Amino acid sequence: MALFGKPKYTIVRLRKKDMPDGIWTKCGECSEVLYNKTLDENLKVCPKCNYHFTLTAYERINTLLDKDTFEEYDKDMQSMDPLNFKGPKTYKDKIAADQAATGLKEAAVTGAGLLEGKKVIIAVTDSRFIMGSMGSVVGEKITRAIESATKNKLPVIIVSGSGGGARMYEGMFSLMQMSKTCAALSYHHQQKLPFISVLTNPTMAGVMASFAGIGDLIIAEPKALIGFTGPRVIEQTIRQKLPVGFQRSEFILEHGLIDMIVHRKNLKGTISQVLDYLS
């Protein structure tokens, strides 16, 4: 064999500009480059490190409910501008931009459907729309969904993916939604009907301080950021370094704020088993 013979293979290096868009995704945890089709088949969980990517509201509903059983409520309800808010961008402009970017009218999707054959009422917040913050429409849609569940004696499942709390663009109109959603859940609880709260990354601020934090059973996905104020703000305020993993699901479970951590692949089955038990 010649010492300087030709190699038996050829190495092809693609430059970033030569790679087609929409085919690969880089994992935010381990930096593994993942084929999008494989990622979708794995419910958008990294097969290497188990990092749970963010799901849209409709993707979330599709992973939990039986196929073609979802009936959406209040689909066309959208926010007004009660304070005529003005800033670098007006509230109306912000809503219009997020509607165009997400295809949603608002940050919450609600409705009814079947979960392994069991009828449930479901609400999901979507962090892509003004960080999933709770304005008057988000609060109204979730409250109406809960009231429908109470009237029809059905369990409620709320999946929270909200990095924002009360929506500052609406002032007190937004803050009122915290008590309104909790009041609706109180009436639901009085009828001895189950409410399962599912916390995903992130679940923060006014959402966590209201309906997300008062479930009969509180489930979180792995490594979800959960809390009221973000860790960087807390560190700047108390001028101390926070423990490793502070406000992540595993830390929160250890300190008793949630009941269990469930992998996304097992979430539907776990909720179904819980509903069987509670019924």
What does the DSSP assignment read for 51-85?
-BPPPPHHHHHHHHSPTT--EEESTT-----TT--
Residues 257, 202: one domain? Answer: yes
Q: Same domain, yes or no, for 70 and 185?
A: yes
Asked whether residue 102 falls in the same domain as residue 181, the answer is yes
Q: Is residue 4 part of a domain?
A: no
Query: What's the pTM?
Result: 0.84
Q: Are residues 221 and 125 in the same domain?
A: yes
Alpha carbon distance 96, 98 (integer Å):
6
Are 86 and 33 within one domain? no
Task: Say if 205 falls within a structural domain.
Answer: yes
Condensed to tens digits (0 to 9), the pLDDT of residues 101-132 reads 999 999 999 999 999 999 999 999 998 888 88
Query: Is 115 a domain residue?
Result: yes
Contact 226, 188 (CB under 8 A): no
Residues 86 and 124 occupy one common structural domain? yes
Q: Is residue 3 part of a domain?
A: no
By DSSP bridging, strand 33-35 and strand 24-26 are antiparallel
Residue 201 lies in a domain: yes
**Would you give the DSSP letter of residue 37?**
H
pLDDT for 11 equals: 47
Q: Are residues 110 and 190 in the same domain?
A: yes
Q: For the chain, how many structural domains are there in total?
A: 2
Q: What CATH number is given to the structural domain containing 155?
A: 3.90.226.10
Same-domain pairing of 58 and 44: no
Domain identity same for 70 and 26: no
Task: Specify if 167 maps to a domain.
Answer: yes
Task: Indicate whether 58 and 41 sit together in one domain.
Answer: no
Question: What is the rounded CA–CA span in Å between residue 184 and residue 145?
Answer: 9
Q: Output the tens digit of pLDDT for each of the chain's 279 residues.
A: 455 555 554 444 545 455 556 788 888 778 878 888 878 878 888 888 878 888 889 999 999 999 999 999 999 998 888 888 888 889 999 999 999 999 999 999 999 999 999 999 999 999 888 888 888 999 999 999 999 999 999 999 999 988 777 788 888 898 999 999 999 999 999 999 999 999 998 888 888 888 988 999 999 999 888 888 777 777 778 777 877 767 888 888 988 889 999 999 999 999 999 999 987
Q: Which domain holds residue 192?
A: 54-278
